[in-house]
Structure 1
């Protein structure tokens, strides 16, 4: 396992890992993994090592959007549908 990047480096990086997203957003790994698997957070997957990577600014914005929708009382299936509809526009 590689050495962790510093928070300063992560905050400037275009691409981050799910573990780095945990550090940036204080959202649990299992929650981010679930959101990813539900198609709620876009990612790219590197062929050579199958590592998922997220565009930092887009992922953080999406996580904040999910957080706001949860606070507004929406269920996960509702949020997934709202995000799909928004993406299709």
Structure 2
């Protein structure tokens, strides 16, 4: 099992893991995995180890926007529409 990076290291990193996004946004892992699978969270995948990496600033902002839209009562299809995603 890999060691967790410090919050300072995460905050200074351009790219983060889904586990680090959980810590940054106080979201559930399963929720972020669902958003990723639905295409709502863009990521890059390093070929050598198949690890998904997320641009920290862009993805945290996207997660906070999704949370805000959910709090307003929007459904996932409505959120995808708001995000400009084809369904």
Query: What TM-score comes out, normalization by structure 2 length?
Result: 0.93
- 1:6-38 deviation per Cα after TM superposition (whole angstroms, max 9, x unaligned): 011101110000000001111000000000000
Q: SS of the residue aligned with 2:53?
A: strand
Aligned length in residues: 86
Rounded to whole Å, the distance in 1 between the matches of 2:80 and 2:41 is 10
Stretches of structure 1 lacking an aligned partner (at least 5 in a row): none
- Structure 1's consecutive aligned runs of 4 or more residues displaced over 3 angstroms after TM superposition are none
CA RMSD in angstroms comes to 1.3
Stretches of structure 2 lacking an aligned partner (at least 5 in a row): none
Rounded to whole Å, the distance in 2 between the matches of 1:20 and 1:84 is 26
Rounded to whole Å, the distance in 1 between the matches of 2:3 and 2:26 is 20
Query: What TM-score comes out, normalization by structure 1 length?
Result: 0.91
